Structure 1
Amino acid sequence: MKKITLFIVLAMSVNAFSQDAIIPLWPKDKTPNAVASDEKEVHERKDILRISKVQEPTIEVYLPSKKNATGQAMLIFPGGGYHILAYDWEGTDVAKFLNSKGIAGIVVKYRLPSSVSQTKQEDVPLIDAQRALRLVRSKAETFHIDPNKIGAMGFSAGGHLASTLGTHFEEKVYAPIDAIDALSARPDFLALCYPVITFDQSSTHKGSQFNLLTKNPNPGALERFSNEKQVTANTPPTFLLHATDDKAVPVENSLAFYKALVENDVPATLHIYPTGGHGFSLGLKDPYLRTWTDNLCEWVRSLE
């Protein structure tokens, strides 16, 4: 019996990070801006898994085999208008795809703005995004990734959060709680897929704006979170993806961010497809649109 037990323990230790793992972002009772409430996290599965009212933010880690690993990693922020997370459609499905290309895929279950469960709710998604990047960087050796090859990828409102992380990574939105928070929160590259970018133009996605900032935003909040206005020369190299016929989040969002990147001499690539609408994820059912993932992976390789 002892031999069997020892074998199981050894097998578990060997495979601990060859498979996915879910890790809390914050130590127990130390989540910034959290308020005790009666809200409960909701998981609703129909055609996709929708998560709302997130109470415990986490990262879910998917790693390729060591033999296939490139050393690169991508944090993935699912979209959902800052109201829900399209968790598998724009999260775990994407992570598994990236694994097939040797890239670690790490899905961030970030908190969504709530007037009940949080203080300063507009800061909360960015707080979780900064912590997620730092946490992954702190575990680079464990995950067999290069701490200088960690990107942030987001879809729709998740693209807004990824672009917020890429332009506000030095902003102090929470007090450090441990050594992890001494690490840089700057992504090494960004991949923004049909992203919400601006809150200060006619192309604004009102749902994301209202959910993050409320219908009565704090002074300066619209400009602060219009990320095309926050680009600097230190913004990470960026891959942008959009469809011309996107009626929910107009293509002007990606165009505005691309223009700002070019003006600041930040390496950028922009792929605009004529059709696809909004929320097409991997685009697997469209023989033309599905090529975007190849473009992404070739671009990521070009950064090495």
Structure 2
Amino acid sequence: MKYKILLFALIFMSQINAQDTIIKLWPKGKVPNQLVSNDKEIHKKEGILIISNVQEPTIEVFLPAKQNATGKAVLIFPGGGYGILAYDWEGTDIAKFLNGKGIAGIVVKYRLPSDVSQTNKQNVPLIDAQRALRMVRYHAKGFNITKDKIGIIGFSAGGHLASTLGTHFEESVYVSIDDVDTESARPDFMALGYPVISMGPMTHEGSKGNLLGNNPTQNLQDYFSNEKQVTRNTPPTFLLHATDDNAVPVENSLLFYKALKDKGVSATMHIYPKGGHGFSLALNDPYLKGWTALMYDWIVSLE
């Protein structure tokens, strides 16, 4: 009888550990720029998992088997126009692909700008992005990750957030609260899928409106136009876009590529003639689906 109880306990504990992949970014009561409100986080499955009104930002960690692990990790920022998160389509599905290549995939459930539950809402996604990168670096040993092999990928508005992190990682956008915040927020490499980059004429108006509001100042637009924020310390970048993208014009990637080139930052860009917007892994397109292999080869080339 005692043996059965012990066996049950061991099985129960192993199940807890196997499922314990979601980590809160902030201690309770210490979430920066958070206001007390009646807002509730919403999860809906509509073909894909849609998350909106994020109240408790997290990272969800997907690790490859230890024998397959390369030591590399990629934080993943799903898109959704800064209004929702396409959480599995541009998040967990990407993490699982990376795991198959021996790379840790870490999905960031970041807060979406809100006038109700936040102050200075335009800074909130970047606050969570910086904290997420620092947290992964802080826990790198436990995740079997090499500290200087941590990259990021973002899609659409998530691509804007990723490029914001890649160009604003040194910005002090929140007050340090613990040892996690002693880590660098600089990504070691950056991949951007059909990203919103600019807050200028080539922007995605929905993303711009959700992030900056209806009448942002020119200074605010310039600050979040990431083609204007590239420096020589911006991480090496992989860009992916389709020419026929009618939601986020391909010029966003072109502008960023030119800015990287002008600053001497290593950049790779793949522009497809067709694909539209929001194609994720593009598994049903025999040509477009090859982008994941190209990105993997690029990540390997950085060694």
AA at the equivalent of 2:276: G
Secondary structure of 1:220's match?
helix
C-alpha offsets along residues 201-238 of structure 1, whole Å, 9 cap, x if unaligned?
x2111110000000111451100000000000000000
Identify the residue that residue 113 of structure 1 maps to in structure 2.
113
CA gap of 1:217–1:74, structure 2 versus 1, over 3 A, is same
CA gap of 1:31–1:225, structure 2 versus 1, over 3 A, is same
Identify the residue that residue 75 of structure 2 maps to in structure 1.
75
TM-score w.r.t. the length of structure 2 is 0.96
Q: Map 1:1-304; keep pairs closer than 5 Å.
A: 1-7=1-7, 21-200=21-200, 202-218=201-217, 220-304=219-303
AA at the equivalent of 1:153: I
Q: Matched residue pairs, number?
A: 303
Q: Answer yes or no: is the 8 Å Cα contact 1:17–1:63 preserved in 2.
A: no
CA gap of 1:16–1:262, structure 2 versus 1, over 3 A, is farther
Separation (CA, whole Å) in 2 of partners of 1:206 and 1:44: 24
Separation (CA, whole Å) in 1 of partners of 2:104 and 2:16: 15
C-alpha offsets along residues 104-160 of structure 1, whole Å, 9 cap, x if unaligned?
000000000000000000000000000000000011011001011000100000000
Name structure 2 gaps, 5 residues minimum.
none
TM-score w.r.t. the length of structure 1 is 0.96
AA at the equivalent of 2:272: Y
Separation (CA, whole Å) in 1 of partners of 2:8 and 2:204: 51
Separation (CA, whole Å) in 2 of partners of 1:4 and 1:185: 47
Separation (CA, whole Å) in 2 of partners of 1:301 and 1:9: 42
Separation (CA, whole Å) in 1 of partners of 2:12 and 2:188: 32
AA at the equivalent of 1:262: K
Report the alpha carbon displacement of residue 3 of structure 1 after superposing the two structures with TM.
3.8
CA gap of 1:61–1:8, structure 2 versus 1, over 3 A, is farther
Separation (CA, whole Å) in 1 of partners of 2:14 and 2:214: 51
Report the alpha carbon displacement of residue 31 of structure 1 after superposing the two structures with TM.
0.3
Secondary structure of 1:301's match?
helix
Separation (CA, whole Å) in 2 of partners of 1:43 and 1:105: 21
Secondary structure of 1:141's match?
coil
CA gap of 1:229–1:46, structure 2 versus 1, over 3 A, is same
Percent identity over the alignment is 67
Separation (CA, whole Å) in 1 of partners of 2:12 and 2:156: 37
Is the deviation greater in 210-219 or in 29-38? 210-219
Secondary structure of 1:294's match?
helix
Separation (CA, whole Å) in 2 of partners of 1:154 and 1:271: 15
Q: CA RMSD in A?
A: 1.6
Separation (CA, whole Å) in 2 of partners of 1:15 and 1:242: 40
Secondary structure of 1:60's match?
strand
Q: Answer yes or no: is the 8 Å Cα contact 1:18–1:64 preserved in 2.
A: no
Separation (CA, whole Å) in 1 of partners of 2:10 and 2:226: 47
